[in-house]
Amino acid sequence: MKAIFTTALGLLSAAQALPAARSASASTSGTRFTIDGKTGYFAGTNSYWISFLTNDADVDQTLDHISSSGLKILRVWGFSDVNATPTDGKVWFQLLSASGSQINTGADGLQRLDAVVKSAEQRGVKLIIPLVNYWDDYGGMNAYVAAFGGTRESWFTNAAAQEQFKKYVEAVVTRYASSSAVFAWELANEPRCKGCSTDVIYQWATEISAYIRSLDSRHMITLGDEGFGLPDDTTYPYGYSEGVDFVKNLGIKDLDFGTIHMYPDSWGVPHTFGPDWIKHHAAACKAAGKPCLLEEYGYNGNCDLQKPWQQASLALASEGMAGDLFWQWGETFSSGPTHNDGNTVFYASELAQCLVTDHVAEVEGSY
């Protein structure tokens, strides 16, 4: 029988799921990060799929390879929202319904994230865990919309959706609040509010970050936005049409650092756009006294185009930039390779030599 509980029962047992009494080992130090007592610039990657692996050996293999490659930060999905219980064995974390939502703490639920957290703890890898997706992959805000009405734009102010979101946040945050593996809680993956006042996301982020802080005072918190909304240029990513004001959001008390994503192709700008995008955000972070993390970047598996972005970020290590995480990590299991979206960097590949091995050496050489 699946261990599926109502929200109330799930919250009651969540804090008992993992061993307690460990303090956080990642923090900010001015505009830099400190991990396990070392302050500086850190390299890392993204793996959305690791949270949904059903074989612990595959989880351990992935974390072994990430750790041995010298990467310190891994961003993983902390959400999988559905509107109907899957019957195909799919991993899901939360069932959303106006008649009663459920948080799944069973073997096909948060126990899969437990395995990632435990493996990361054992290997000294630090996790960024977003709590909802703007996009429809793994449910996203539209899964809440399907249950509680409205639109993605009204999700931020939809009382019923936000009440359930807070219940889910509490379940996940309290479950891992004592884990040394948590680098930061992330409010959302790439939150946008198209056509909205930037006050909508600002006010939501202020409220939710304060709520997370009340649940877990040890770990860092970040927004997870792409970095839209800067006064330095007139191109689309610098504008405010997506309801995001990077500088204003940096001022939120309970957000510890800023995040930047970078996909020139998707944004209709040339790949040479990258270094200035990084420089302008670094300046904003330095002015705010908080670190900036280049949290996602990718360009069709091309090292020649991405290497200058890594170098531009690292060159600003004392001027606001504190790390970078390429999108995305790839593994080959006995069952086959993980998803290749065109930006995947597979372990031990020629591309990994350039974007991982060589980059880690440059980072370590900068100390």
pLDDT reading at 17 higher than 90: no
Res 4 pLDDT > 50: no
- According to the model, what pLDDT value does residue 19 have? 34
Residue 331 pLDDT > 60, yes or no?
A: yes
What was the pLDDT predicted at 13?
39
Q: Where does the pLDDT of residue 24 fall: very low under 50, low under 70, confident under 90, or very high at 90 and above?
A: low
Percent residues over pLDDT 90 in the chain: 91
Can you tell me the mean pLDDT for 202-214?
98
The answer on pLDDT for 265 being more than 60 is yes
pLDDT reading at 318 higher than 90: yes
| Residue 170 appears among annotated catalytic residues | no
Burial class for 76, CB neighbours closer than 10 Å (0-12, 13-18, 19+): buried
pLDDT confidence band for 367 (50 / 70 / 90): confident
Confidence at residue 32, expressed as pLDDT on a 0 to 100 scale: 98
266-282 mean pLDDT = 96
User: Kindly report the CA angle at 71 between 58 and 366, in degrees rounded to 5?
Assistant: 170
Question: Is residue 362 annotated as a catalytic residue, yes or no?
Answer: no
**At 196, phi and psi to the nearest 5?**
-90, 160
Exposure string for 133-158, b = 16+ CB within 10 A, e = fewer: bbeeebbbbbbbbbbbebebbbbbeb
Q: How confident is the model at residue 302 (pLDDT cuts 50, 70, 90)?
A: confident
- pLDDT (tens digit, 9 = 90+) per residue, 87-125? 999 999 999 999 999 999 999 999 999 999 999 999 999
Query: Which tens digits make up the pLDDT trace of 141-177?
Result: 999 999 999 999 999 999 999 999 999 999 999 999 9
**Residue 189 in this model has a pLDDT that exceeds 60:** yes
Given a cut of 80, whether residue 20 has pLDDT beyond it is: no
Residues 354, 12: Cα–Cα separation, whole Å: 47
Q: Catalytic residue among 190, 226, 242, 295, which?
A: 190
For the residues 229-254, what does the mean pLDDT come to?
A: 97
d(CA 309, CA 163): 40
Residue 1 sits at the vertex; the CA angle it makes with 117 and 172, to the nearest 5 degrees, is 30
How far apart (Å, rounded) are the C-alpha atoms in residues 266 and 227? 14
Percentage of residues of the chain with pLDDT beyond 70:
93
Tens of pLDDT, residue by residue over 29-67, are 999 999 999 999 999 999 999 999 999 999 999 999 999
Report pLDDT digits (tens) over 117-133: 999 999 999 999 999 99
Residue 5 pLDDT level (bands cut at 50, 70, 90): very low
| pLDDT, averaged across the chain | 93
What is the pLDDT, as a whole number, of residue 210? 98
DSSP H or E run through 284: helix 274-288
Tell which wins on pLDDT, 23 or 302.
302
* pTM: predicted TM-score of the whole model, two decimal places: 0.93
How many alpha carbons fall within 13 Å on the CB side of residue 284?
26
